[in-house]
Structure 1
Amino acid sequence: MLFPLTRTRRRTAALAGAVALTLGLAGCTSSTDPDGPATVTGPSAPATASSAPAPDTLLSAYDLEGMDATAVIEHLETLGGTDRPEALMASIRPTELLLSDASGETSLPLPDDKFYLSFAPYVSQTHDCFFHSLTTCQGEIIEQPVTVQIVDDATGETLVDETRATEKNGFVGVWLPRDIDATLRVTLSDGQLVGEQQISTREDSPTCLTTLQVA
């Protein structure tokens, strides 16, 4: 026998939906178990904000005033742990950076000719991710040097060939041309652990890559 939802059950369902929307904006969210792998939400529509603060107002609340999307991304990507602004959600989409907190949501456009991909190579522990969250995503390999090579599949051009250190969040971020397919190869500093994966930089491509295992 089916019963109609009570008022309490309707409130609970509505609250669960609101929480799901908020997490959807984040991209990655850590599990409550500090020793377990991070859990995430998959790609989803951005949360519906109760208001839309001016970009400068939201940015100034987190000492980001005067920065465009590129500068905000490059600043927040270097932070980890308690250095991250807990109240701020910063989700990288293929064409924009979505920023939100309790006051509402705003967005900053990404460069027309550039795509930002953030990847977290791993050995034994990773998590699912699609849109990179600058304030919640956490990778396994922290502040370790890695050699990064990215080659355009169509032209054979080497787009990136350098040694970088993973950030405190375990990720490495790269700016790439839009609308390409490429091969990403990562080697840990000792040269013994190598991983390779195909990537793309289109409007429906992920900005977060957490499936690159080095072995």
Structure 2
Amino acid sequence: MIGAGVLPFVIAGCGVRDSESAQVAGGQGLLEDHGFAGAGASEIIDQLEALPVVERPQDLIASVTATSLQLQDDAGREVELPLQSDQFYLSVAPFVESTHECTFHSLTTCRGELRTREVTVKVIDSSSGEVLEAGTRTTRDNGFLGLWLPRGIAAELTATLDELTGSASISTQSEDDLTCLTSLQLA
């Protein structure tokens, strides 16, 4: 899918990235052609996550790292948009039976097992005990639910579906922290 581009991620179901900085080549045209002109990273992430899988662009790779949204289209155009310095995006695919490995969430190619299911989610800051997120969320058509969390925390995330529950430790402290949590098994 990706040619000899310089974007710092490799798509293999979801994304994996090295520490190089992305170069912007034809970025404005890419954003305009995909209906994202004038939109920031968080707006584009939310727009793509809300789309049903069949409506997600087939000619666009959109990967979320700890610090940016990276886009590349079939024309070889690339753009990297920074996330807000106080926000961290974590996409979570709770599962019961099947999952895949993932480090950096691909908004256009990642798929989780539990599509459009109501899941109760709680995120508790490990240092302060503060509840950062609590409530019922519905996984998107791709099986993921997105959480905008504060940057710089370690926390415990718990998800519950009917009588099944799972927990995972998460972090938003470093550039290498994952943005794609696919190891949260509900049992």
TM-score (norm 2): 0.89
Query: Which of 149, 171, 184 matches 1:200?
Result: 171
Flag structure 1 segments of 5+ consecutive residues without an equivalent.
1-15, 30-39
Please name the residue that 2:67 is paired with. Answer: 95
Contact in 2 for aligned 1:193/1:214 (Cα 8 Å): yes
The answer to whether 1:149 aligns with 2:122 is yes
Please name the residue that 2:110 is paired with. Answer: 137
1:1-215 mapped onto 2 (5 Å cutoff): 18=3, 24-26=9-11, 28-29=12-13, 42-44=16-18, 52-54=25-27, 56-101=28-73, 102-188=75-161, 190=162, 192-202=163-173, 203-215=175-187
Give secondary structure in 2 for the equivalent of 1:75.
Answer: helix
- Report the residue type matching 1:141 in the other structure: L
Question: Cα–Cα, structure 1 residues 45 and 78, in superposed 2: closer, same or farther, change >3 Å?
Answer: same
Give secondary structure in 2 for the equivalent of 1:59.
Answer: helix
- Report the residue type matching 1:212 in the other structure: L
- Report the residue type matching 1:214 in the other structure: L
Greater CA radius of gyration, 1 or 2?
Answer: 1
Q: How many residue pairs were aligned? A: 185
**Residue-by-residue CA offset, 1:70-99 (whole Å, 9 max, x unaligned):** 100001012232211011111101111101
TM-score (norm 1): 0.78
CA RMSD of superposed structures (Å): 2.5
More helix by share: 1
**Residue-by-residue CA offset, 1:10-61 (whole Å, 9 max, x unaligned):** xxxxxx99479889443x52xxxxxxxxxx5644467977x7013x321111
